[in-house]
Structure 1
Amino acid sequence: MKARSLTKAYDSEPPVEVLRGVNLDVERGERVAIVGPSGAGKSTLLNILGLLDEPSGGSLEILGSATHTASPARRDKLRSELLGFVFQDAHVLGHRTVAENIELKLAIRGVPRRQRFGLIAAILARVGLNHRSRSLGRLLSGGEKQRLAIARALVTTPGVLLADEPTGNLDDSNAGTVLELFDEAAKRGVAVLVITHDSRIADWADSSYLLIDGVLSTRK
């Protein structure tokens, strides 16, 4: 992932600049943390990197594909094929089982039904939820929901995993489990980018950055 001179501004009086010339490189298998206080522009940056929003200026490439010049349909395709998302609130479907939560992601990606069972079983084993495959999402603990969210994000092997405060609602033990799963993803070649206000995650990352008032600088 390569971002160059990304800006984001909103029309108002006076105009509000949320991002100011952000430059960022994230390599395959790299663990990256972006730390900053509330209101610094972290979520806005994540939305742009995740192709959920468009920058006001600058350029963005994901695994060699330019996104800033892509059509909406092309951006949707790139988001589906190249990106995985994990948020602070896991967004688990409570009325569906654990397996069904993941199968929905596979169905959206067009994976044939005959291939889904094996993929679901494999990813649930990796995150330690194979024994909960038939449990409804609403019956999971907070840590289990976050592991399910990670399984859902990784089942199609994205090139980049984007996480927004993924440990914010978890105790230290479950937070550690989440980071271990991110470590495993990175070892498989997935670029992992975490947006957080927790300096401990910045210490865990291979590269960390500080975002303040829309300006990104190297932390280490």
Structure 2
Amino acid sequence: MKMINDVFMIDIPEFDAGEEDIFGDPIEYIKEHPDDKRVLNVIKQNPCWSYMYANEVIKGKWPEGEEIIKQDPRLAFRYAHNMINGRWPEAEDTIKQDPKWAYYYAYNVIKGRWPEAEDTIKQNPEQAYDYARYVVKGRWPEGEEAIKQSPKRACLYAYNVIKGRWPVAEDTIKKDPLWAYQYAHNVIKGRWPEAEETITQSPKWWRKYERKFL
């Protein structure tokens, strides 16, 4: 009987929520022991495991895990996109707190503007640019203050959104040799004397600039 108990304990170990490492990867474990409620109790206390369980095991919605999944902006977005295949109102207050996942939610789930999240999205140059280009599909004045803080995003915004020079962002763009060159080449389409001192700091981009404009 002792041997049977020992084997039983190896197959289905005793553990609680604070001892996940006893059974290793809980998702792989539950695939082999689908009826072990103790593993499920641990899984649904962890947002990442709960999402993985819904995605890899159930391959669909898992209501028991939604309360904790919706506490993580990244996982809440993925659950809405991959499991619900649509908006998840109960998780939107969480998602809209993170610029990156708020943008992804607007673009991939709402498929349009998300006014309630715009105050968050406009704080980050990358997401503000992406939101303007791919969601607003035009200039987005509310996001321009953040966009113009990044040489890369400011240059791309001028080229892809404004489709011309963006004077208020040029002081930022000309601080980076790569994006100063790209701005001269693709936006100004000619010499940009004010940025030449910066471009000379990069032999690679200065050679390109010289061949193109000097």
Measured against the shorter chain, the TM-score band is: under 0.3
Q: TM-score, normalised by structure 2?
A: 0.26
Name the structure where strand makes up a greater proportion of residues: 1
Name the structure where helix makes up a greater proportion of residues: 2
Q: TM-score, normalised by structure 1?
A: 0.25
Does 1 or 2 have the higher relative contact order (CA < 8 Å, sep 6+)?
1
Structure label with greater radius of gyration: 2
